[in-house]
Amino acid sequence: VVYLVVFHLSFVMFVWSYWKTIFTSAATPSNEFCLSKADKEQYEKEERPESQQEILRRAAKDLPIYTTTASGAIRYCDRCQLIKPDRCHHCSACDICVLKMDHHCPWVNNCVGFSNYKFFLLFLMYSLLYCLFVAATVLQYFIKFWTNELPDTHAKFHVLFLFFVAAMFFISILSLFSYHCWLVSKNRSTIETFRAPTFRNGPDKNGFSLGWSKNLREVFGDERKYWLLPIFTSLGDGCNFPTRLVIVDPEQLTVSSQNEPAK
């Protein structure tokens, strides 16, 4: 009875998480990040990059944006014609800008980002448990196969195949799941791991890290009873993220402290 309950529960959670990962639409920036009609026409008429950047700076002055390009310019998507929020990137496969984009996953045929990152993590976790459960169940028959205690039937080759498939998937998913657990603890996306976000004071790979506890809650939410369920509980709106203190110039810090009166 316990065997059947564990089997069916793990399978249901695996399918549920997989379904949510696939069919949850990628979150896109809100309309406030789109240029007005007048600014868009003026931007398209301008040929000089400096003038175009001035238009973007004027449009982005009231937006919650703290990151820029590597050259310090406003991050703008010519394809979607909008100012990119922090941690937002354009997906060439989906042809849309995705909030807090992590990567485009061909296995789920969807972008993994703000709206379904929790579902993707749960999908990996329940896949891992499911493979482990299958491998552990077949292990006794696998041992009998090598000790020639298993009856000489065609079923023994099925047992051998099932064990190796479950073990290989377990190893591959374990490495991927461990990597994403590390990303969650650092509050980074896969894209930010390879290219650190650039703030006004320079690039900072830990710019969005608030400590592992707050980083974990940012993905899974404040209610722990919902953490293991594939329902959306991530904090925020995907357009604005809390940041820690970014890189500070030591010389500027020394000068400012000398200019301030002693308290």
Catalytic residues: 105
Measured CA distances, 175 to 64, 104, 180, 181, 233 (Å): 35, 18, 9, 10, 25
Q: Which residues pair with 67 in a beta bridge?
A: 199
The percent helix, strand, coil of the chain (3-state, each to 5) is 50, 10, 40
CA atoms of 72 and 202, how far apart (whole Å):
8
H/E element, 111: strand 110-112
CA atoms of 126 and 184, how far apart (whole Å):
17
Longest CA–CA span in the chain (Å) reads 89
